[in-house]
């Protein structure tokens, strides 16, 4: 079987910046490759048309067509032509597209099935973030969903919310984002006395970063020795127009808390794993996600987690069994759960071990790859009838 992924991003130096969509696609691609599936990544929005190999995964860069007023349509038709040619040459059997801005809205391959996986559309995130969505993005995203040959979602919450905001009644097959557990080796010699709290991810409002200072202020009241480490890209705030979320955060820390905060900016991926290993607690006070890979990474590293209790969260973490879930706006309660982990080493070890066990059982790449393969086979079979 030969699978292609149509995506705006992919984590490679040649393809530019990448976020959660690209990471989850690469994780799945590696898992499929290990199962003998051929994988091609079609990355649009590139500076040039090119093809190269990434450890067995074929990356095809697609340059958008620039023509005032018609770029969106002509680019889609270019992608459609590429898909038709690849399918005619027996180089792909199926294409999976991401839902972001509805790239597949005017792409209709002749014979090749085209499905969509919900990672969280622009309309979805605007809804969760209480922002107005661009009508053109909502139009393309809805049209793409309505004409897809198959529908996947990384969480039931994302599927249900998507149906609601678009006024649809589509059936989605739920297959979570995967993670290769073997890449996250556990070192049980973490020093509980360091009392280090780690957040890694973009510094952005929708991930609760304007709540985190207020939460940490409460932690410091309980434990003046606690340290907060922040890792990730500083993102402009779309609501206030402020060019730096980090600068907005600094004003929210108390005088006692701020000296205990370290912002490292963006760091290489290997260093993030080192920082996770060194942390005592990982925190994710997010308001808007679909099925965040960062949470899976912390769980795989066997770290106690305090995270948002919004929507998708209960599909990842069982409250009180393999982590704590608290609403990000409840600063006192969120801070208390962090303090519980910092003060109780046995509790931390128990829930962290349970978190690793859950990832191994339900979210490991080998488990998830098999689920995807079965779904792909069904869609291809239906298309060929």
**pLDDT tens, position by position, 202-221:** 999 999 999 999 999 999 99
Q: CA-to-CA distance for 208 and 327, rounded, in angstroms?
A: 10
Q: Please determine, for residue 228, whether its predicted confidence score (pLDDT) is greater than 70.
A: yes
At residue 69 the predicted structure's pLDDT band, cuts being 50, 70 and 90, is confident
Average of pLDDT values for 57-62? 97
Q: CA-to-CA distance for 15 and 230, rounded, in angstroms?
A: 26
Q: Name the nearest CA neighbour of 118 among 145, 92, 140, 79.
A: 145
Q: Are 116 and 104 in contact (CB under 8 A)?
A: yes
At residue 200 the predicted structure's pLDDT band, cuts being 50, 70 and 90, is very high
The whole-number pLDDT of residue 337 equals 98
What is the chain's mean pLDDT, rounded? 94
Average of pLDDT values for 128-143? 95
**The two structure tokens encoding residue 146:** 């309505």
The fraction of the chain above a pLDDT of 90, given in percent, is: 88
Q: Please determine, for residue 190, whether its predicted confidence score (pLDDT) is greater than 70.
A: no
Q: CA-to-CA distance for 79 and 234, rounded, in angstroms?
A: 33
Q: CA-to-CA distance for 180 and 32, rounded, in angstroms?
A: 12
Find the largest Cα–Cα distance for the chain.
68
Q: Please determine, for residue 105, whether its predicted confidence score (pLDDT) is greater than 90.
A: yes
At residue 310 the predicted structure's pLDDT band, cuts being 50, 70 and 90, is very high
The whole-number pLDDT of residue 188 equals 59
- Per DSSP, 384 falls in state T
* Phi, then psi, of 120 in degrees rounded to 5: 115, 105
Q: Please determine, for residue 191, whether its predicted confidence score (pLDDT) is greater than 70.
A: no
Q: Please determine, for residue 41, whether its predicted confidence score (pLDDT) is greater than 80.
A: yes
At residue 194 the predicted structure's pLDDT band, cuts being 50, 70 and 90, is confident
**What pLDDT, in 10s, does the model give residues 320-371?**
999 999 999 999 999 999 999 999 999 999 999 999 999 999 999 999 999 9
200-225: string of b/e by CB count within 10 Å (b at 16+)?
Answer: bbbbbbbbbbbbbbbbbbbbbeeeee
Q: CA-to-CA distance for 198 and 282, rounded, in angstroms?
A: 5
**What pLDDT, in 10s, does the model give residues 242-251?**
999 999 999 9
Which residue segments constitute the domains of the chain, with CATH numbers given?
2-178+365-383 (3.40.50.2000), 182-363 (3.40.50.2000)
Residue labelled with tokens 């909502």: 138
């Amino acid at each position: 079987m030969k699978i292609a992924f149509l995506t705006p991003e992919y984590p490679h130096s040649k393809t530019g910046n990448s976020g959660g969509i690209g990471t989850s696609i690469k994780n799945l691609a590696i898992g499929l490759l290990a199962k003998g599936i051929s994988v091609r990544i079609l990355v649009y929005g590139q500076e040039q048309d090119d093809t190269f190999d990434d450890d067995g995964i074929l990356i095809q860069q697609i340059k958008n067509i620039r023509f005032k007023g018609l770029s969106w349509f002509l680019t889609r038709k270019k992608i459609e032509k590429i898909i038709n040619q690849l399918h005619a040459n027996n180089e792909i059997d199926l294409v999976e597209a991401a839902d972001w801005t509805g790239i597949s809205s005017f792409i209709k391959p002749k014979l090749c099935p085209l499905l969509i996986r919900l990672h969280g559309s622009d309309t979805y995130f605007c809804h969760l973030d209480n922002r107005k969505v661009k009508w053109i993005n909502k139009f393309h995203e809805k049209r793409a969903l309505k004409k897809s040959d198959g529908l996947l979602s990384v969480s039931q919450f994302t599927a249900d919310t998507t149906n609601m905001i678009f006024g649809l009644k589509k059936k989605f097959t739920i297959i979570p984002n995967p993670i290769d557990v073997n890449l996250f080796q556990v070192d049980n010699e973490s020093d509980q006395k360091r009392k280090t709290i780690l957040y890694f991810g973009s510094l952005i409002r929708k991930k609760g970063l304007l709540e985190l200072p207020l939460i940490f202020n409460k932690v410091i009241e309980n434990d003046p020795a606690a340290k907060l480490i922040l890792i990730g890209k500083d993102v402009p705030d779309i609501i206030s127009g402020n060019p730096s979320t980090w600068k907005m955060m600094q004003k929210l820390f108390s005088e006692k808390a701020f000296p205990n905060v370290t912002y490292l900016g963006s760091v290489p991926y290997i260093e993030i794993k080192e920082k996770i290993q060194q942390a005592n607690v990982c925190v994710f006070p997010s308001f808007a996600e679909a099925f965040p890979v960062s949470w899976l990474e912390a769980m795989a590293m066997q770290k106690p987690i305090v995270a948002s209790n919004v929507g998708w969260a209960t599909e990842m973490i069982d409250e009180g069994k393999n982590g704590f879930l608290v609403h990000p706006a409840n600063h006192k309660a969120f801070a208390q759960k962090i303090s519980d982990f910092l003060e109780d080493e046995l509790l931390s070890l128990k829930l962290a071990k349970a978190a690793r066990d859950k990832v191994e059982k339900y979210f490991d790449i080998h488990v998830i790859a098999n689920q995807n393969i079965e779904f792909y086979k069904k869609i291809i079979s239906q298309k060929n009838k």
